[in-house]
Structure 1
Amino acid sequence: MNFIDKEIEEYAKLYTSNEPELLKELAEFTETNMPMAQMLTGKIEGRLLKMLVALTGAKSILEIGMFTGYSALSLAEALPEDGRLLTCDIDEEVAKLAQEYFARSLHGSKITVQLGPALETLSKTNQTFDLVFLDADKENYVEYYQSIIPKLNSNGLLVIDNCLWSGKVLEPQAETDVAIHKLNQLIVTDPRVENVVLTVRDGVNLVRKL
């Protein structure tokens, strides 16, 4: 993910509100120790997620794709005390790491971790959500989207990460490129929603259910 000018990215980080020290520690640990560290949400997008929760007043959040927990903690930070976040992932070892940080956070008690395929979790739950953050296996993005929209409350917000995929959506060739481009095409023609694609990091698609 290097299609955004590095100096502009660093400038944006510098002039974005700081994250809590625990999140800084988690980011440093992830970048130093995790083989797929580029999956980290990071400061800019993390602060965006927190702000979206605060602006929407969301009280029920679903996250699909947790990684080391940076995004979950960013979302939970803006939840009210009675708010709840359900986060889904399939990697038990990474989930254990995330839960260690959740346990150290003032907001960790708002987070519930569900291990297993998120599509199965979605099919089994009757819960609906005010906000959903999707950042999982890209090949299944369309299927995730179709499963999420019925679970999203009216005026609810779906936040989709990596919707520009390092610019590969311009000329999609690989399976992942095609899947992301297909979802972007689906969203902009879906009468159930309105959306805006943001050029934040690797692209963020904000989708509001009408």
Structure 2
Amino acid sequence: MTSRTVPITEQLHDYLVAHGSAPDQVTRDLYAETRSVLPDDAEMQVSPEQAGLLTFLTRLIGARTAVEVGTFTGTSALAIARGLPPDGRLICCDVSEEYTSIARRYWRLAGVEDRIDLRIAPALDTLRALPTEPHVDLAFIDADKIGYPAYWAELVPRMRPGGVIGVDNVFRGGRVIAPASEADRVIADFNDAVNRDDRVEAVMLPIADGMTLARRR
């Protein structure tokens, strides 16, 4: 027994994924194509265990309206959309036609394309155009790190009570302990701000590069 998270070796990670988060063929193909076509950027995809968590969480809270900030090639959006009911809706914010053209193909293959509303525009413009009343059940932030505080500021007031915001890369590869870049410093400060935000209750999970889940009070 231990009071600390067990270090995740490659073998233990394989075991973890195999026991509850194993991707299906569509998702495996999406991972493979992203690594092949965009090898320098493929690390921007969520991990298989994060994808499994996003689907599970979407179903767990009964989400019908979701928002994603940062879509890349669509792995996390696919995971969220699979957790939505047939009439659910996920608004995806991204600025890249190139990356999201890959996403669209896999959403279609997975049969969830009709649940996803992809908006190619600066994310803040998309978020500010949303209704201001609390109506979002689930949000996921995984975009440019400098923008995290602004995305948070727009999303929190729009979350319904009990709604959940997921935030990726809150560890910055461990550099939040000793920030080495502007992005590292922004995330370190952002983590502190989330911890102080009395509008939410939050937990930080040691999954992939760190993931915060915050529940709107």
CA distance in 2, matches of 1:117, 1:9: 35
Alignment partner of 1:59 out of 50, 64, 72:
64
Q: Which amino acid aligns with 1:171?
A: A
CA distance in 1, matches of 2:172, 2:43: 12
Partner secondary structure for residue 170 of structure 2: coil
Alignment partner of 1:132 out of 117, 135, 139:
139
Residue 17 (structure 2) pairs with residue 10 (structure 1): no
Residue 164 (structure 2) pairs with residue 164 (structure 1): no
1:68–1:94 contact (8 Å) kept in structure 2: yes
Structure 1 regions of 5+ residues with no counterpart? none
Q: Which amino acid aligns with 1:109?
A: D
Q: Say what the alpha-carbon RMSD is for the aligned residues.
A: 1.4
CA distance in 1, matches of 2:21, 2:108: 24
Post-superposition CA distance 1:125-149 (Å, at most 9, x none): 2163100000000011111111111
Post-superposition CA distance 1:5-46 (Å, at most 9, x none): 433323322323322211111111111221300011131110
2:91–2:118 contact (8 Å) kept in structure 1: yes
- Tell me the residue number matched to 1:153: 160
CA distance in 2, matches of 1:190, 1:165: 21
- Tell me the residue number matched to 1:107: 112
Question: Cα offset for 1:4?
Answer: 5.2
Structure 2 regions of 5+ residues with no counterpart? 1-6
Q: Which amino acid aligns with 2:42?
A: A
2:47–2:208 contact (8 Å) kept in structure 1: no
Post-superposition CA distance 1:82-117 (Å, at most 9, x none): 111010100111111211112222222101100011
- Tell me the residue number matched to 1:207: 214
- Tell me the residue number matched to 2:28: 24
Alignment partner of 2:92 out of 87, 90, 108:
87
Q: Which amino acid aligns with 1:27?
A: Y
CA distance in 1, matches of 2:188, 2:8: 19
Alignment partner of 1:142 out of 149, 152, 155:
149
CA distance in 2, matches of 1:23, 1:183: 31
Q: Which amino acid aligns with 2:26?
A: L
Question: Cα offset for 1:118?
Answer: 0.6
Q: Identity over aligned residues, as a percent?
A: 34
Q: Where does 1:178-193 land on structure 2 (aligned, <5 Å)?
A: 178-193=185-200
Partner secondary structure for residue 169 of structure 1: coil
- Tell me the residue number matched to 2:4: none
CA distance in 2, matches of 1:148, 1:10: 34
- Tell me the residue number matched to 1:120: 125
2:69–2:123 contact (8 Å) kept in structure 1: yes
